[in-house]
Amino acid sequence: MSGGTMVVIGDGYAAEASWPDSVAAEFGMRVHNMAQGGMGYRTAPRWCDVAPCTSIRGSVTKIAASAPSLVVLAAGEADGDQGLAESAAATLEELHAALPTATIVVMSPTTDRATTPAWLERHAEQLKEAASESGATWLDVTPITSGSAAFEAGSLTPRANVQVAAALERALR
């Protein structure tokens, strides 16, 4: 995979991360980071700089307008303790219909909590299943991005960003 546009959409952890730029540079791609703090598969951000200010599912038309060759979905914590199975499946179905030749990657949720809540573990299971059923690539970054050691001032540490970029690059090769 090389050239084209990579769209990253998800929560504030993805919005503040440097891994999208690293991956885009590695593959000679432009990056359009649409991630916003508080954005989830079902949940709209509390505020945002772009319109429409909606959930990931509500952003499919805007994602498709960028005509990306790669879409990376990186969210889950902002949705809180509500099921994601239906929304994730519908989002992936809509993305595949709008972008039939794009590679779609679904990442496990990221959290800076010292202990991962059971509902966030369920999100990861639901997202993995939705990715598998839709033909999207599943990327479990939980060992890298879960827990307070992976964070510094509310953002992923430089080391964690390098590790996420490397994991995504391996998944795309």
Q: How far is it, in rounded angstroms, from Cα 43 to Cα 119?
A: 15
β-strands 155-156, 151-152 pairing: antiparallel
For the 5-172 domain, the top CATH level (class) is alpha beta
Q: State the pLDDT at residue 87.
A: 97
Q: Is residue 1 predicted with pLDDT exceeding 80?
A: no
Q: State the pLDDT at residue 75.
A: 97
Give the percent of the chain with pLDDT over 70: 98
Q: State the pLDDT at residue 146.
A: 87
The whole-number average pLDDT for the span 26-34 is: 96
Domain ranges in the chain are 5-172
The answer to whether the CB of 68 falls within 8 A of the CB of 33 is no
User: Mean of the per-residue pLDDT values for the chain?
Assistant: 95
Q: Is residue 48 predicted with pLDDT exceeding 80?
A: no
The whole-number average pLDDT for the span 21-44 is: 96
Q: How far is it, in rounded angstroms, from Cα 18 to Cα 25?
A: 11
Q: State the pLDDT at residue 51.
A: 64
The answer to whether the CB of 73 falls within 8 A of the CB of 108 is no
Summarised one tens digit per residue, pLDDT across range 101-148 is 999 999 999 999 989 999 999 999 999 999 999 999 999 999 999 888
**Stronger pLDDT, 48 or 59, i.e. the higher one:** 59
Q: Is residue 12 predicted with pLDDT exceeding 80?
A: yes
Q: Which residues contact 25 (CB under 8 A, 6 or more apart)?
A: none
Write out the two tokens for 96: 């595949």
